[in-house]
């Protein structure tokens, strides 16, 4: 009942937002510029993702773009990996989607929104029957069988910012619901809900800059149920605890779990007063996310709790003119995740008394990067861009007992070339990019046997197998190339019809783990 009610409600919300975005053209008249000029300006290298962290403050989004632009598209994506890069995420996916995205700027107000529906399959997932692995790791539920999963997602978001005198106020909210299941053993049925809300305020500093602060909160939940219909025997269900370990006491057929998470955070920001102008930006953001894993099959037993601190900082400068524009950006981030596992006494009346808690899992991720762009604008609004970047990332993962540790260090260089050119009623956009990641001094230690007394060989063939699989990918050099094109045709200056295609091919130095990714969509922009 809950599944169908969620589909009904979310489906209606998606339809309402799509109609609302289409109707905004009548309420807020589109800018006097043609849709081609607005697309070219809003998607230039100076605007697209360069100042990024500052826009987590919804009040800053008032200045994100100079021009109103709405897009509605439908399409699909396909991904295949010869061997899974992250085994818990599977080796590919096939998805279809419908998406509407809108940014409207009128006078002293800006309004934005997005609605998205995605339906398809996630392929070859193993050692994980829980949704949102990258959010809930390592405390997921898994088995040795796995398989493809049907996946359905409903997402909608929107916000509003208004300038009043020296101040600008903004609010932003989003909600995402996911449904995943499989109609063959093992049969997971996962329902997730993720709600995010942010508020912000900005004040003018002199004639050229604005400074602001923001606060945000998040609420997450997932019901994760795994059942078997085979009467001849079923594999063990593992409640995994990280790096080849599990909570052995609760192995078996206890396949009902529940996750509840919450988060809070905020940011401090500095930005030029108007969109598309020369200037400096700086932002510092902090978030704290925590969740509990509860085994519903054991009378709501609180098995583990995770706490994660995230700090991000960004500073950038861009110089814009009518002929050329360039920018440089430095960024850094640090994520510290800790997993606390609970210990229980003997059950009484199906209730396990909590007797102790211990921090067992640690994962630290640090990253620094330097990037830039140069864009040349010729007569007729023809644009050519080059975007280089270099990044360094360090991953340190620890498990206390049995002692396990993994160290990964990545040095990444990338370059992206973009071009955009109008041809009468057509606007052609394209990009070509390449990325190379070098793995520096990786190491992995899986020492001893588990507390269950299993031999090292048995563990290597069992719970340690996904650790070795993921380490193999992380510890080798890898490369990626991408090509993307988009063509807009404008029967009238107020709207355009477009076709967009993107292809990526990745491989590792050993040549045994290639991947292919293709996405294509058609749509209308106005």
Instruction: Kindly report, residue by residue over 222-259, the tens digit of the pLDDT.
Output: 999 999 888 777 788 999 999 999 999 999 888 999 99
Contact 475, 408 (CB under 8 A): yes
The band of 207, judged by pLDDT with boundaries at 50, 70 and 90, is confident
Contact 115, 17 (CB under 8 A): yes
Residue 525, class by beta-carbon neighbours within 10 Å (0-12 exposed, 13-18 middle, 19+ buried)?
Answer: buried
Whether the per-residue pLDDT at 12 is higher than 60: the answer is no
Torsion angle of C-alpha atoms 269, 274, 275, 278, degrees rounded to 10: -90
Give me the pLDDT at residue 2, please.
43
Q: Rounded to two decimals, what is the model's pTM?
A: 0.91
Contact 402, 360 (CB under 8 A): no
Average pLDDT (382-399) is 96
The band of 282, judged by pLDDT with boundaries at 50, 70 and 90, is very high
Whether the per-residue pLDDT at 372 is higher than 80: the answer is yes
Q: Which two tokens stand for residue 173?
A: 């909210």
Give me the pLDDT at residue 333, please.
98
Interatomic CA distance for residues 214 and 60, integer angstroms = 9
The band of 31, judged by pLDDT with boundaries at 50, 70 and 90, is low
Give me the pLDDT at residue 314, please.
96
- The H-or-E segment that residue 227 falls in is strand 209-227
Give me the pLDDT at residue 104, please.
92
Interatomic CA distance for residues 132 and 222, integer angstroms = 9
The band of 524, judged by pLDDT with boundaries at 50, 70 and 90, is very high
End-to-end CA distance of the chain: 39
Query: What percent of the chain shows pLDDT beyond 70?
Result: 90
Interatomic CA distance for residues 125 and 110, integer angstroms = 42
Contact 146, 124 (CB under 8 A): yes
Phi-psi region of 241 (alpha: psi -120 to 50; beta: other; left: phi over 0): alpha
Q: Which of 365-369, 426-430, 449-453 has the lowest mean pLDDT?
A: 449-453
**3 state SS for 272-312:** ECCCCCCEEEEEEEEEEEEEEEEEHHHCCEEEEEEEEEEEE
Interatomic CA distance for residues 207 and 203, integer angstroms = 11
Give the count of alpha carbons within 13 A of 347, CB side only: 9
Residue 461, class by beta-carbon neighbours within 10 Å (0-12 exposed, 13-18 middle, 19+ buried)?
Answer: exposed
Query: What percent of the chain shows pLDDT beyond 90?
Result: 71
The 10s digit of each residue's pLDDT in 128-164 is 999 999 999 999 999 999 999 999 999 999 999 999 9
């Amino acid at each position: 009942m809950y599944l169908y009610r969620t589909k009904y409600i979310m489906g209606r919300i998606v339809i309402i937002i799509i109609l609302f975005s289409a109707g905004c053209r009548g309420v807020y008249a589109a800018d006097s510029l043609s849709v081609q000029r607005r697309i070219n300006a809003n998607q230039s290298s100076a605007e697209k993702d360069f100042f990024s962290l500052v826009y987590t403050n919804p009040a800053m989004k008032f200045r994100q773009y100079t021009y109103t632009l709405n897009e509605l598209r439908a399409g699909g994506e396909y991904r295949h990996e010869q061997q899974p890069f992250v085994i818990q995420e599977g080796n590919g996916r096939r998805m279809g989607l419908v998406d509407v995205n809108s940014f409207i700027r009128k006078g002293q107000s800006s309004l934005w929104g997005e609605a998205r529906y995605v339906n398809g399959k996630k392929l070859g997932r193993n050692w994980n029957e829980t949704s949102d692995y990258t959010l809930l790791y390592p405390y997921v539920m898994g088995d040795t069988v796995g398989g493809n999963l049907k996946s359905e997602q409903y997402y909608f978001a929107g916000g509003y910012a208004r300038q009043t005198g020296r101040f600008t106020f903004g609010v932003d909210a989003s909600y995402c619901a996911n449904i995943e299941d499989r109609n063959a053993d093992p049969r997971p049925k996962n329902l997730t809900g993720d709600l995010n809300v942010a508020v912000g305020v900005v004040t003018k500093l002199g004639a050229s800059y604005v400074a602001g602060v923001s606060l945000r909160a998040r609420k997450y939940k997932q019901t994760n149920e795994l059942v078997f219909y085979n009467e001849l025997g079923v594999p063990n269900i593992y409640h995994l605890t990280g790096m080849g370990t599990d909570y052995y006491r609760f192995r078996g057929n206890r396949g009902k779990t529940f996750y509840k998470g919450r988060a809070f955070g905020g940011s401090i920001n500095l930005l030029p007063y108007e969109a598309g102008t020369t200037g400096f930006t700086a932002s510092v953001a902090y978030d704290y996310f925590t969740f509990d894993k509860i085994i519903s099959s054991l009378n709501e037993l609180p098995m583990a709790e995770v706490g994660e601190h995230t700090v991000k900082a960004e500073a950038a400068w861009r110089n814009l003119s009518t002929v050329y524009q360039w920018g440089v950006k430095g960024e850094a981030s640090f994520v510290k995740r800790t997993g606390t596992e609970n210990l229980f006494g003997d059950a009484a009346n199906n209730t396990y008394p909590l007797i102790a808690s211990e921090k067992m899992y640690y994962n630290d991720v640090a990253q620094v990067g330097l990037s830039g762009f140069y864009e040349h604008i010729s007569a007729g609004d023809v644009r050519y861009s080059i975007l280089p970047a270099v990044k360094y990332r360090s991953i340190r993962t620890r498990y206390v007992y049995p002692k396990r540790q993994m160290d990964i260090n990545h040095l990444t260089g990338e370059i992206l070339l973009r071009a955009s050119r109008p041809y009468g009623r057509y606007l052609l956009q394209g990009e070509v990019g390449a990325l190379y990641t070098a793995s520096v001094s990786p190491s992995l230690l899986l020492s001893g046997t588990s507390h269950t007394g299993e031999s090292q060989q048995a563990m290597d063939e069992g719970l340690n197998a996904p650790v070795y699989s993921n380490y193999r990918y992380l510890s080798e050099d890898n490369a990626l190339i991408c090509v993307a094109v988009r063509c807009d045709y404008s029967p009238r200056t107020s709207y355009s019809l477009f076709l967009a295609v993107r292809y990526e091919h990745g491989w590792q130095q050993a040549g045994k783990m290639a991947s292919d990714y293709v996405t294509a969509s058609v749509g209308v922009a106005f």
